[in-house]
Amino acid sequence: MAGPFDFLYEPATNKYIIDLIVALFATFLNHLADGLEGWNIIFKASHIETGTYNWTMFTIYLTLFIPHYAGDSKKLGIFALVLVFFWLLTVGCWVVKTKGQEWRSHEDISKIALSGSPLLLAILSFAVFIFFDYYFWVLNPYI
């Protein structure tokens, strides 16, 4: 039975194409924030709010792949740990965003929010997919 998210999984290259589309949308968000010019739109998040939105889009996008890994309980367990890590980062970004001018008291997590550039997030999602779909499971099929 076909599910609503099957277009994400078949063919395997769809996830990388959709990943680039998400990165372009994040670049568009950075451009709307008007804090960056030129190539900095790709390499930086202009504000904590923009970085928070970028991290949120990235984490939701990765979460949509839970059904793809549901057939393999070990792979799903490790993928769930990766998702928990990214959701904690995203929640931390939202906490810093809601602090307003008091964000300096959470300087470490605010640096994470500001590093939520479209290029970084596209590279992270490519790495997660390559790790889970190819490299990790080819090296050790007994995991």
Provide the residue-wise pLDDT of the chain in tens; the chain has 143 residues: 456 666 666 666 677 777 788 778 777 777 776 666 666 777 777 778 888 888 898 899 889 888 877 777 888 888 899 999 999 989 988 888 887 766 666 677 778 777 778 888 888 888 888 887 775 654 555 55
The residue to which tokens 């999602």 are assigned: 125
The residue to which tokens 């939701």 are assigned: 60
Q: What are the tokens at 64?
A: 């949509």
Q: Count CA atoms closer than 13 A to 117's CA, side-chain side.
A: 14
Q: What are the tokens at 123?
A: 């590279």
Q: DSSP character for 65?
A: T
What is the per-residue pLDDT for 1? Answer: 46
As a whole number of angstroms, the distance between CA 140 and CA 142 comes to: 5
What is the per-residue pLDDT for 137? Answer: 55
pTM reported for the whole predicted model: 0.77
Contacts of 39 (CB under 8 A, 6+ apart): none
As a whole number of angstroms, the distance between CA 21 and CA 27 comes to: 10
